Structure 1
Amino acid sequence: MTNQILSVEELKSLNVRSNRQGLLRLTLHLGVMTIAGYLWATNLTGDRWYIAIPSLAIYGFSLAIMFAPLHESSHRTAFANNHLSDAIAWLAGLLSFYNSSFYRLYHKWHHRYAQIPDKDPELSDPPPANLGEYLLQISGIPWWIGKVQTHGRVALGKLEGYPFIPEAQREEVIRSTRLQLLVYIAAIAISIAFRQPWFLLYWLLPLAVGQPFLRFLLMAEHMGCTKDDNSLTNTRTTLTFPPLRYFIWNIPFHAEHHLYPSIPFYMLPVAHEKLRSHFVHVDSGYVNVNLEIVKHLNAQEPVAV
């Protein structure tokens, strides 16, 4: 079996969760977000657009890529403490417009049935068939529409069509989603009360700006890979420059993660060195991968979101 490449001893040495590593990565992430957000807030008026625009892009990307700690914490590999993982997952989902309770169950099915038609929930949307559809997905517009619809349905208790949510966890998912929406409503109410566009300027607009960057990264994870249950061929690892890889919690090592989802994010580079020769899709650069996707759109699979 493909998931038995590493020995028990090797896997045990890699499966070491760490509060320290998780908190260091989270501190860096929130630090970049805070600095970029401050620069955006203090330069969005006036003539210093050359500071405001890059700051908005970085701030927006840092919001969108809170998906990364959400993802790791949903696996409970970001930290050694499960309660800490759950708390950070919820916060990260709040900032990135995901719901952690819903996402954990959704993502569990994605791992169980990765790239298997009619089972993997990430294959529920059709793939882009042309450049226009590709650009539409990169824009994040379908993602926004899907998130608004899903959050609304779940908050109303309409869980039909979500077979990955077991009966025993329905109330938790509904409650978590309602609480998240209440936070957004409170933030909007505060903005209105003070007659300030805070919600728009410091969350909605930046996240909208950051989403295309995240879509660009996630597009590479499974597009163009095999549509079957072979973990060595149905997922891609994308090699990128270390600072970006570090900031996005090593999500480029996606094939390694799918093969061994128990390995914490900070150990994935080590796992990569042991496993890279076994994977079919180990490609260099997100730009190169996306250019190849555009070249062969008619043969591609749906984007992983």
Structure 2
Amino acid sequence: MSSDAIIQPELLENKTEKQYNARQILSVQELNTFNDRSNSKGLIHLIGHLTIIGCSGYLWAINWGNWLVAIPALLLYGFGLAAMFAPMHEGVHRTPFANNRLNDAVAWCAGLLSFYNSTFYRYYHKRHHVYTRVPGKDPELTDLTPHNLGEYLLVLSGLLWWVDKIRGHIRIALGQVEDYPFIPETARVEVIRSTRWQLGVYAGAIAISIAVNQPWFILYWLLPLFVGQPILRFLLLAEHTGCSLDANLLTNTRVTLTLWPVQFLMWNMSFHAVHHLYPSIPFHTLPKAYEKLSSHFTHVDPGYIKVNRDILAQLGQLEG
């Protein structure tokens, strides 16, 4: 198993006894039964996701003027693109496929579609797992936690995300990585090169659009992703918002029980507390692992609408 697949508990500083014990809920033998990575299951899921993107994108492209079809197609297409964040995230953990080169390639390409850079995200996300919800150490806590309706709508709009991604990609491409302490010096060249390649692909797509005098880049990537981001933000808000602001893995992350189509496009990320407790478990066994672990989690909610209603009701009281 790749060393990136699971964050060992001994990496955590000031871990509580509860947190340490949490990782002992499953025996090594039980954990191994859930840790089975599979190229075939990963590829089938990826093909299904890409098929949804392709079909909805085709409907969006051919139904100009027929807005009863075009608008739902755009929403699905946009969310499908934004939700490529999920296989990027899984690939960064090197869990969806047995082959690590395949994990890395899919993570990079999925990040390209969803406007994430998987090479940068690997180090950012590893720090997030090591210091989940630990103030001053978890880089996700630098994101805005909404404390009023205006901030909630701002987060949901995705505008802050766009600003952060555009600014971050440009800064890294220019070699300005000093403000990212989670990127080790030995990885800086790799992160910069990966980001430059990604921006180069976007530049090439823009150049082709201009050359053929067609707004392809805008119509089939920028606009759909702009439409899909609020849906993704709505889902990602549920992962930690309103949970405990400490290192307790049983209280600082949420499981959100949702509809199968959402589970599919999000690669079972709704079982997020399971994933944080045991990051080595691949997406396709998370539901089975949840059945074994469900009674241990503090935050298990029946649906994203319910979670967001609770967030709205607690505005002004949320920590983060």
Structure 1 length-normalised TM = 0.97
**From 74, 86, 92, the counterpart of 1:68:** 86
Pairs within 5 Å for 1:1-305: 1-44=21-64, 46=65, 48-302=66-320
Output the CA distance in 2 between the equivalents of 1:224 and 1:173: 32
With 13-22 and 244-253 compared, the bigger mean Cα shift is at 244-253
Output the CA distance in 2 between the equivalents of 1:299 and 1:78: 37
On the 8 A contact 1:222/1:301 being kept in 2, the answer is no
- 1:73-126: per-residue Cα shift (whole Å, max 9, x none)? 000001000000000000000000000000011000000000000000000133
Q: Which amino acid aligns with 1:4?
A: Q
Output the CA distance in 2 between the equivalents of 1:91 and 1:126: 27
Secondary structure at the counterpart of residue 261 of structure 2: helix
Q: CA deviation at 1:136?
A: 0.6
Q: CA deviation at 1:266?
A: 0.3
Secondary structure at the counterpart of residue 256 of structure 2: strand
Structure 2 length-normalised TM = 0.93
Q: CA deviation at 1:246?
A: 2.1
With 237-246 and 179-188 compared, the bigger mean Cα shift is at 237-246
Runs (4+) of structure 1 exceeding 2 A deviation are none
Q: CA deviation at 1:128?
A: 1.1
Q: Which amino acid aligns with 2:219?
A: L
Q: Which amino acid aligns with 1:162?
A: Y
Q: Which amino acid aligns with 1:167?
A: E
Output the CA distance in 2 between the equivalents of 1:59 and 1:243: 14
- 1:19-63: per-residue Cα shift (whole Å, max 9, x none)? 01100110100000000000001112x3x1101000000000000
Output the CA distance in 1 between the equivalents of 2:290 and 2:28: 17
Q: CA deviation at 1:156?
A: 0.4
Q: CA deviation at 1:247?
A: 2.5
Secondary structure at the counterpart of residue 301 of structure 2: strand
Distance 1:104 1:197, change over 3 A: same
Secondary structure at the counterpart of residue 179 of structure 2: coil
Q: Which amino acid aligns with 2:264?
A: Y
Output the CA distance in 1 between the equivalents of 2:162 and 2:318: 22
Query: Considering only aligned residues, what root-mean-square deviation do their CA atoms show, in Å?
Result: 0.7
Q: CA deviation at 1:160?
A: 1.7
Unaligned runs of 5+ in 1: none
Q: Which amino acid aligns with 1:275?
A: L
Secondary structure at the counterpart of residue 238 of structure 2: coil
Unaligned runs of 5+ in 2: 1-20
Number of positions where the alignment pairs a residue of Structure 1 with one of Structure 2:
300
Output the CA distance in 2 between the equivalents of 1:12 and 1:300: 37
On the 8 A contact 1:17/1:264 being kept in 2, the answer is yes
